[in-house]
Amino acid sequence: MGGVRTALYNYLIAKKNGGDFILRIEDTDSHRFVPGAEEYIIDSLRWCGIVPDEGLDADGRVAEVADEKNPHAPYRQSQRRGIYRKYAEQLVSGGYAYYAFDTAEELEKERAAAEGAGQTFIYNASTRGRLRNSLTLPADEVARLLEERTDWTVRFKMPLDEVVEMDDEIRGHIEVNTSTLDDKVLWKRADELPTYHLANIVDDHLMEVSDVIRGEEWLPSLPLHYLLYRAFGWERPKFAHLPLLLKPVGNGKLSKRDGDKMGFPVFPLQWTAPDGAVSRGYREDGYFPDAFVNLLAMLGWNPGTEQEIFSLEELVQAFSLEKVGKSGAKFNPDKAKWFNKEYLRMRSDEELAALFLPVLEAHGVSASEAYVREVVALIKERATFVADFWDIAWYLFVAPSEYVEKDAAKFWKAENVAMAREALEATASAHEMEEYIRAKEWPMGKVMNCIRLALTGSSNGLGIADIMRFIGREEALTRFRRAEERLLS
């Protein structure tokens, strides 16, 4: 959900400003490759109607070859491997970065030692002078190590005691002293891949990205990114850091476990993890994509008016970063359902009937499209999801086979049954029947509920007139007689 919302906000800003929304796959961590994840992202965006202007080829796959539509291909960072090394080296020769030869074990030892002393190890100006890198080692040894070893990295040389002044489109002015920051790894010799920080800045520059809108978890990295743009001498894009999506109860950010626990989806589409674990999706739960997009848009943003229902096109018009909040938004599953309910009401009877038809088939029921359309017209205001239709109106398609005991005990009494039978048999329509009951001054509630019990198996549900309009007088009589056989024996 969080990822889709971020994509959505990016899309909206791009469209609002007449720009392009670029999809780029940031897969620079070779150890965290998840099969199917990339296809899942593309499918999810497509379902939401968030179509990238750039980054996908004609087949809807991540573009690998440059053409008119995708001038910056490839869009997978793992396939851009060759690009990054020279930029890393450019930083080294400019004095903005250096080669580091510390092994993972050595760094681990440093961290353990610092922790033992009640401190945190930080790789920056305070420690780099005594560590193994191209700033402390003689040039010839550096050259030798670069040649011999395959586990060195390029680290950013974080300036000492400098205040970086930044501007965030959502949070405004932010200042950070560089002495609190560390010398981040920018490039790894081991797999010849950059880390996020380098790849992101290089690609954003190469792809002419003007607006970076991402999650708040990136805010602590913003000073580094500012410094990288400065070191390269590149114009930097505008930055906006979105508030996080929080779990409905308690503290912390929304995780897939919250959804499982509280019974709502956290994924747009159903997702099967490599270990086989299945996470439910909004699509599979019966949400309409436009409802999903709408509810996501309202999580952290408001239009400044009291309008709550927005199509994607309306969002493009109304959206702005100034109206995005600064604090994390707790997700409210009830409100999510409300959105879907509103969207269900806006759907045409034809469309809803088409969605309901397969459900009926699954229940072994066949009905005409016209009949189903009328049923849907009657019941759609009572439903939140298409899946609710069957529970609401199944008895318009099949006769009840059992009766709710509690309701039968309350309404299936001899005197009620006698009145109900007479009313049913003596009249030709529900309207006539109602007048008949009224004329006789019988208790309307008792008689009607008695009939409803026979027609639906319970005393809850649609109005008798509506039910009889659909199933017809003959079927009503049949059901009533069957109830008499079963309940009075």
CA–CA separation, 210 vs 237, rounded Å? 5
CA–CA separation, 42 vs 5, rounded Å? 14
Q: Which amino acid is at 79?
A: Q
Listed ranges 46-54, 241-249, 354-362, 474-482: which one lies at the site for RNA (CB under 7 A): 241-249
Asked if 112 is part of the footprint of RNA (rule: CB under 7 A), the reply reads no
Q: Which of 36, 60, 71, 252 binds RNA (CB under 7 A)?
A: 252
CA–CA separation, 383 vs 353, rounded Å? 13
Cross-sheet strand order for the sheet of 185-188: 97-100, 153-156, 185-188, 193-194
CA–CA separation, 161 vs 181, rounded Å? 10
Among residues 54 and 183, whose Cβ is nearest to RNA?
Answer: 183
Q: Is 150 helix (H, G, I), strand (E, B) or coil?
A: coil
Among residues 54 and 102, whose Cβ is nearest to RNA?
Answer: 102
Q: Which amino acid is at 385?
A: F
Residues 433 and 448: beta-carbon distance below 8 Å? no
Site residues (CB under 7 A) for RNA, limited to 395-454: 434, 444-445, 448-449, 452
CA–CA separation, 172 vs 125, rounded Å? 29
CA–CA separation, 323 vs 170, rounded Å? 8
Catalytic residue of the set 16, 238, 253, 256: 256
Q: Which of 125, 174, 207, 399 binds RNA (CB under 7 A)?
A: 174
Asked if 107 is part of the footprint of RNA (rule: CB under 7 A), the reply reads yes
Asked if 328 is part of the footprint of RNA (rule: CB under 7 A), the reply reads yes
- State both tokens at 131: 């560590």
Give me the least distance between CB of 433 and RNA, in Å please: 10
CA–CA separation, 438 vs 50, rounded Å? 57
Asked if 29 is part of the footprint of RNA (rule: CB under 7 A), the reply reads yes
Question: 380 an active-site residue?
Answer: no
Among residues 69 and 111, whose Cβ is nearest to RNA?
Answer: 111
Among residues 69 and 92, whose Cβ is nearest to RNA?
Answer: 92
Give me the least distance between CB of 2 and RNA, in Å please: 11
For 104-142, the DSSP string reads HHHHHHHHHHHHHTT-----STTTGGGSSBTTTS-HHHH
Among residues 259 and 300, whose Cβ is nearest to RNA?
Answer: 300
Site residues (CB under 7 A) for RNA, limited to 300-319: 300-302, 304, 306, 308
Among residues 346 and 444, whose Cβ is nearest to RNA?
Answer: 444
Q: Which of 142, 231, 246, 318 binds RNA (CB under 7 A)?
A: 246
CA atoms within 13 A on the CB side of 194: 25
CA–CA separation, 84 vs 80, rounded Å? 7
Residue appearing with tokens 């008798």: 464
Asked if 182 is part of the footprint of RNA (rule: CB under 7 A), the reply reads yes
Q: Which of 17, 348, 429, 460 binds RNA (CB under 7 A)?
A: 460
Site residues (CB under 7 A) for RNA, limited to 198-237: 216-221
Asked if 103 is part of the footprint of RNA (rule: CB under 7 A), the reply reads yes
Give me the least distance between CB of 15 and RNA, in Å please: 21
Q: Which of 206, 409, 465, 487 binds RNA (CB under 7 A)?
A: 465
Give me the least distance between CB of 68 and RNA, in Å please: 27
CA atoms within 13 A on the CB side of 463: 9
Q: Which of 73, 212, 266, 298 binds RNA (CB under 7 A)?
A: 298
Q: Which residues are identified as catalytic?
A: 256
